[in-house]
Amino acid sequence: MLRSYGIPCMVLARRAPPRIVAFRGSIGLKEDRGGGVTAYRYPDSNVFYRKLGRSYPRVVRGEGCWLYDEQGKDYLDAVGGAYVVNLGHSNAELADALARQAREFGYLSATAFTHGPVEELARELAATLPGDLDKLYFLSSGSEAVEAALKLARQYWVEAGKPGKHRIIALAPSYHGNTLLALSASAREQYKLPFREWLVDVTRIPAPYAYRCDCRGADAACPTCSGTALEAAIRRAGADTVAAFIAEPVGGSSTGASTPRPEYFRMIREICDRYQVLFVADEILCGAGRTGTWWAVDQYGATPDIMTMGKGISGGYAPLSAVAAPERIIDVIAQGSGSFLHAQTFSFHPVACAAGLAAVRLLKRDRLVERCARLGRVLHERLAALTRLPHVGDVRGRGLLAGIEFVEDKTSRAPFPRAARFAEAFTEAALEAGLVVWPNVGHADGVNGDLVVVAPPFIITEQEIDQIVTRFTTAHAAAVSAVKAGAR
């Protein structure tokens, strides 16, 4: 008998579970193979998709930097999915490491036990981390790591006898995740709007985003580009209310791989020390070798108090993130309440840690961070050609992380109006051309702005980099035509 649980039975009975049939490669095309005609899109499937208005190609195989859908179409995964697949798809050593661990034990409660993978992974990562950061707390997603890092900063100040220090300062534009505290720290108004009443107030300073700064990043005295804007913000808020400043050492999606001036984070370090504010470096996107050094912050000679990592640390073979902190911070809690108030069922997950351990060991054994730095130079040299395209305003970044910003007018740097949806049109055109990139919008002024980021696996070859440029050029022409056609 169908029980309604208060929902009219008519609604429950409205649609029988659909049978999924093949999606035909190019977006929007569907094929009926008899019965339950549908495609991989809402509401034809039982999946509640991220985007409810588009069809999804179904991927059946991945190899190195490539993905293949069920129609045999190939996609050059130029952004490792979401800055995650640093070691390429279908790596047999990683797959074996996961299987080995699952055969021993798949899950343990981190409240009761510890295990080999978490101990070894923490030791391997600690050896790569700057300064005194050598204690690691493992979680699953980047958002969780940011939540935990900010809560650690807050709990530290409470237990250190300074309970007034609660305020967070963050950059604009910025992104630090989608759970409520991480979203509060993010300057993504379009994501925040419906949840405004649930979010905490976070103080903002402008991000060091040279392409959009009046000084173009060239003025060492510019408060935004030098970092002194942080000092002014702390003084305005009152240092005894500020717990932490959070920033990405190299901008991720939000500023399209913008790199601050070389002295920026030394200035941030100095200011944080002067006002007793904890500096939290969010390396979820830019860390784990992505910018050509183990951690992006290594390139500034400044050590954060707390660091978050995620995405690439397991190469994407299992959801894994972590918070790193020094003894001088953890000790305050060890000698105070005795436990960090952020427990989650899947923290320190054995299979996820086994994936992380295998990934980190592979990065070290095959010297893939060094390879990332070398191939990064090739990537930037080849991508420079894209600035000749009519709507590419800037190409920037470091290592195998590159942002390409689109503008309507290259001289004035005026962005396309948001209504043109250029980044979306480009991303769909790129997928059609067999190229996976990551789009971002709104960075130019909070509403307008279109960019895409590429961040390929560290195993990419020079020939594959050339393929990125070719496919990008095709997608650019198609997106310009689509946007012009839409405007008519």
Binding interface with ligand PLP (CB under 6 A): 141-143, 146, 175-177, 248, 252-253, 282, 284-285, 310
Tokens, residue 225: 């580009």
Nearer to ligand PLP, 64 or 130 (CB): 130
Nearer to ligand PLP, 141 or 291 (CB): 141
Nearer to ligand PLP, 217 or 310 (CB): 310
Q: To which residue do tokens 């900063």 refer?
A: 153
Nearer to ligand PLP, 86 or 253 (CB): 253
Find out whether the peptide bond into 173 is cis, omega within 30 degrees of 0. yes
**Rg over CA atoms, the chain:** 23
- Which residue, judged by CB position, is nearest to ligand PLP in the bound state? 142
Nearer to ligand PLP, 55 or 440 (CB): 440
Rounded to a whole number of angstroms, the minimum distance from the CB of residue 173 to ligand PLP is 11
Residue 69: how many CA atoms within 13 Å on its side-chain side? 21
Rounded to a whole number of angstroms, the minimum distance from the CB of residue 291 to ligand PLP is 13
Rounded to a whole number of angstroms, the minimum distance from the CB of residue 252 to ligand PLP is 4
Nearer to ligand PLP, 91 or 140 (CB): 140
Rounded to a whole number of angstroms, the minimum distance from the CB of residue 139 to ligand PLP is 10
* 42, burial (CB in 10 Å: exposed 0-12, middle 13-18, buried 19+): middle
Nearer to ligand PLP, 77 or 248 (CB): 248
Please tell me the distance from the alpha carbon of residue 463 to that of residue 471, in angstroms, as a whole number: 12
Give, for 484, the enclosing helix (H) or strand (E).
helix 462-487
**Which distant-in-sequence residues (6+ apart) come within 8 Å of 248 by Cβ?**
171, 174, 254, 281, 282, 283, 285, 286, 296
Find out whether the peptide bond into 163 is cis, omega within 30 degrees of 0. no
Rounded to a whole number of angstroms, the minimum distance from the CB of residue 87 to ligand PLP is 17
Please tell me the distance from the alpha carbon of residue 83 to that of residue 247, in angstroms, as a whole number: 18
Nearer to ligand PLP, 113 or 195 (CB): 195
Rounded to a whole number of angstroms, the minimum distance from the CB of residue 176 to ligand PLP is 5
Please tell me the distance from the alpha carbon of residue 391 to that of residue 375, in angstroms, as a whole number: 26
SS3 18: coil
Rounded to a whole number of angstroms, the minimum distance from the CB of residue 177 to ligand PLP is 4
Rounded to a whole number of angstroms, the minimum distance from the CB of residue 440 to ligand PLP is 10
Nearer to ligand PLP, 55 or 253 (CB): 253
Angle at 313 between CA 309 and CA 319, to 5 degrees: 90
Rounded to a whole number of angstroms, the minimum distance from the CB of residue 230 to ligand PLP is 18
Rounded to a whole number of angstroms, the minimum distance from the CB of residue 285 to ligand PLP is 4
Nearer to ligand PLP, 181 or 480 (CB): 181
Please tell me the distance from the alpha carbon of residue 157 to that of residue 148, in angstroms, as a whole number: 14
Please tell me the distance from the alpha carbon of residue 317 to that of residue 87, in angstroms, as a whole number: 10
Rounded to a whole number of angstroms, the minimum distance from the CB of residue 389 to ligand PLP is 26
Nearer to ligand PLP, 314 or 467 (CB): 314
Nearer to ligand PLP, 256 or 415 (CB): 256
**Which distant-in-sequence residues (6+ apart) come within 8 Å of 460 by Cβ?**
65, 375, 379, 400
**Which distant-in-sequence residues (6+ apart) come within 8 Å of 449 by Cβ?**
405, 415, 440, 441, 442, 443
Rounded to a whole number of angstroms, the minimum distance from the CB of residue 278 to ligand PLP is 17
* 191, burial (CB in 10 Å: exposed 0-12, middle 13-18, buried 19+): middle
Angle at 80 between CA 72 and CA 115, to 5 degrees: 115
Rounded to a whole number of angstroms, the minimum distance from the CB of residue 3 to ligand PLP is 36
Please tell me the distance from the alpha carbon of residue 456 to that of residue 59, in angstroms, as a whole number: 18
Please tell me the distance from the alpha carbon of residue 254 to that of residue 329, in angstroms, as a whole number: 29
Nearer to ligand PLP, 23 or 138 (CB): 138
Please tell me the distance from the alpha carbon of residue 87 to that of residue 312, in angstroms, as a whole number: 8
Residue 145 is classified by DSSP as H
